[in-house]
Structure 1
């Protein structure tokens, strides 16, 4: 029934943004200020005595000399200073009420402000049609002695003939959706390229672009930093690991994660956080092979996890074994009684397996031509064939050059995170040629993510308290 109503009768798309929306905050402010002022003023007159205490017989007033004297005495007895104080107090009260309303209903204020900004945005760029209309208007007072024609004057007014049907919607989970019409008008191509400009104008982050019948819908997140999770919030379930409130690594559908970032960008802490999240639900320690050629943070997990490698031969062996186990599982899955074509590892009750590699580029630099060829071949087979069997790669490096991730390997990493400050070339290597204006914020764990939505969004890695002890936490997990 709901689908029938939406298709044939009415479909809610949000609040319509009109030409008058350019003064939305002013109109709302005046509509709140005036009642607050009059309430305060009336209460002030009721509490503070301003008029004279003696009765004045208005019904018997005659404008004689005595009557005028009586009226003058009455006007002189009014407490004008008190009335002035009440007026000033009423204005202050109304202003304070407006300020408190802005604080209490800040989200509504913010959404109204954004609607006003969009209306101003459209009007300033002239993305609407207007014509001049001339009307004859009768003069109210005409003292001329000429013919009747002079009793009329011509008035020229502006009339809007077309203003685009733009809708502004806030969903239940505080996503902002702005719909622009695809009506074939001359402004349509402009509306199709608004995403990057609106991001900066509204201080939002583009989450998704939705194609609808007759509309292009841009979905934004305001204050995306508020979506940041903590290390305690990371729990993997049903092939998914939430990394932010609205950023979820669905490794069953988006296999293999690529993490880039320079020294001090927080790659190692982020990888440790992912390991902690995977252990909370999806995996056990024996399901992970951890490689750290720099013998740094991940190498400290040796003795806690059964498969931790920091030497060249150990890493080569771990990668080869991971590939062989993947191929062996692929064959075993087809022999299971409950196997059906298209079933993946989870449908058969198997756990995912992860090969975690930090500083991949540094490791490849250590290898000779023979070992490098074999190693890259193993990686290629894993990224190509690992999804259905449940074998996944998590790779960290400073920059994903094709020298290290060539042969189509880089394209198979479906979930990508760039932490810290990267160069334009680095972002292009990570995300390709995208219409995104990258910036940098001095927040530990800040970066950008491609989460399979078709757009690049701001990203904040899970917050880890400086006093948090990963080693003690991992040791406590059986």
Structure 2
């Protein structure tokens, strides 16, 4: 029934934005002022003795005119003036207080007004202008005070696009623009970059609807930043921000880029912590660090940590062989059905974590490189259903290191720190977004498999937080399959 109503009768798309919406905040402020002023004035006149009782008992024998004069003279004009001034102050304070108390509602109203102004300033509507004859009651330039007529210009909006503004339950902002075939349609399909800057939002995804294009934005995405204690993995997902989730069952393999000091290693350690907090055990991870740096310190805490060339080559080969073996074993399970993945069969995900991939490939000779790249390619192509995933960090994803279509198989990509235009293009391809840099530790951009690039803030880690102590305190069987 709900689907029938939405299709044939009414479908809620949000609040309609009209031509008059350009004055939305002004009208709301005036309405609040008048309401508060009248309420305060009524209370003041009721509480403060301003008007004397009428009629005066001592003037019962006097004339009516004398009574009125006496009554007017007895009014407390000073008190009345104070009440009026106090009411004006209350009226002025009311919009300001409402803005503070209901700031989120104010923000959404402001965004609706900005969209209306955006459309009007760019002339994305049609207006009709015509001359109308108007009578003037009196023309004192004429001796006989006859009625005069003059021509005035009147404007009327004949077409304003059906734009809808909606705030979802999870505080996503959805703005729908019409695809009605009019001359403004192409503009509605191409100005997301300007809207992002205007509304201080990040485009989350584009939704195609019948007759509309829906842009979903995240406002103030920096507020979605999590802390290291918040990271939990379950049901094949790991939330890295409140509304940025790595669904590794559907978006297998993560690619992380960023120069020296961008925070790649800390981010990878945070991912490991989040995976251990739910989905994995320590033995489900193979960790490779060819630079013998931060990840190599996990040796002795995790069972499979490698920093030497031979060990990394062996770990990658074994990881591939285990993947192929599991793929065969899954088909032999009694509860196996076509299309089932590892989790449907009660198996845990496995992760091969590789930092500084480019540096490692530079260490290899031609034969070793060919074999290593071949193993990586098989893992990224075949690993999803069996639950074998790659997490790779490097400074720049050149095709020299991730050739043969391997880079395209990394469905979740994070670029941390400051990257060059070429580096961003290697990570995300050609995108209609102005990519900049913020001096916030852990800042970057993410492609979460939605076809758009959003700002990203890696989980906050207190400088005093010790990953090694935390991992030592975790038993080998800390993870539980969820």
Tell me the TM-score normalised to structure 2 length: 0.92
Match of 1:340 among 333, 337, 340: 337
Query: Partner of 1:236 in structure 2?
Result: 233
Query: Partner of 1:354 in structure 2?
Result: 351
Query: Partner of 2:411 in structure 1?
Result: 414
Q: Which moved more, 1:284-293 or 1:458-467?
A: 458-467
1:145-199: CA deviations, max 9, x gaps? 89x9x75433320111111111111111111110111001100000011211111
Query: Partner of 1:141 in structure 2?
Result: 138
Query: Partner of 2:478 in structure 1?
Result: none
Shift of residue 360, structure 1, vs aligned partner: 0.8
C-alpha distance in structure 2 between counterparts of 1:53 and 1:332, whole Å: 97
Q: Which moved more, 1:372-381 or 1:298-307?
A: 372-381
Q: Do 2:54 and 2:71's aligned partners in 1 also have CA atoms closer than 8 Å?
A: no
Query: Partner of 2:170 in structure 1?
Result: 173
1:272-303: CA deviations, max 9, x gaps? 11111111222111111000111111111100
Q: Which moved more, 1:306-315 or 1:366-375?
A: 366-375
Query: Partner of 2:11 in structure 1?
Result: 11
Q: SS where residue 422 of structure 2 aligns?
A: helix
Q: Which moved more, 1:339-348 or 1:446-455?
A: 339-348
C-alpha distance in structure 1 between counterparts of 2:53 and 2:160, whole Å: 60
Shift of residue 440, structure 1, vs aligned partner: 1.8
Give matches, 1:82-97, under 5 Å. Answer: 82-97=79-94
C-alpha distance in structure 1 between counterparts of 2:468 and 2:148, whole Å: 93
Shift of residue 370, structure 1, vs aligned partner: 2.2
Match of 1:308 among 305, 308, 323: 305
Shift of residue 46, structure 1, vs aligned partner: 3.6
1:14-61: CA deviations, max 9, x gaps? 111001000000101010101211222333334444457896669934
Q: Do 2:288 and 2:312's aligned partners in 1 also have CA atoms closer than 8 Å?
A: yes
Q: 1:21 and 2:21 equivalent? A: yes
Q: Which moved more, 1:349-358 or 1:337-346?
A: 337-346
Match of 2:292 among 287, 290, 295: 295
Shift of residue 318, structure 1, vs aligned partner: 0.9
Q: Which moved more, 1:48-57 or 1:246-255?
A: 48-57
Q: SS where residue 112 of structure 2 aligns?
A: helix
RMSD of the TM alignment (CA)?
A: 2.3
Q: Do 2:29 and 2:95's aligned partners in 1 also have CA atoms closer than 8 Å?
A: yes
Q: 1:366 and 2:369 equivalent? A: no
C-alpha distance in structure 2 between counterparts of 1:54 and 1:6, whole Å: 63
Q: SS where residue 271 of structure 2 aligns?
A: helix
Listed as ranges, the gaps of 5+ residues in structure 2 are 476-482
Q: 1:466 and 2:463 equivalent? A: yes
Query: Partner of 2:154 in structure 1?
Result: 157
Q: SS where residue 243 of structure 1 aligns?
A: strand
Query: Partner of 2:380 in structure 1?
Result: 383
Query: Partner of 2:101 in structure 1?
Result: 104
Question: How many residue pairs are counted as aligned between the two chains?
Answer: 471
Shift of residue 83, structure 1, vs aligned partner: 3.6
Query: Partner of 2:40 in structure 1?
Result: 40
Query: Partner of 1:254 in structure 2?
Result: 251
Q: Which moved more, 1:328-337 or 1:263-272?
A: 328-337
C-alpha distance in structure 1 between counterparts of 2:459 and 2:398, whole Å: 26
Q: Do 2:111 and 2:199's aligned partners in 1 also have CA atoms closer than 8 Å?
A: yes
Q: 1:60 and 2:57 equivalent? A: no
Q: 1:217 and 2:220 equivalent? A: no
Shift of residue 76, structure 1, vs aligned partner: 6.4
Tell me the TM-score normalised to structure 1 length: 0.93
Match of 2:265 among 265, 268, 292: 268
C-alpha distance in structure 2 between counterparts of 1:93 and 1:338, whole Å: 70
C-alpha distance in structure 2 between counterparts of 1:296 and 1:39, whole Å: 69
1:293-315: CA deviations, max 9, x gaps? 11111111100100001111111
C-alpha distance in structure 2 between counterparts of 1:128 and 1:92, whole Å: 40
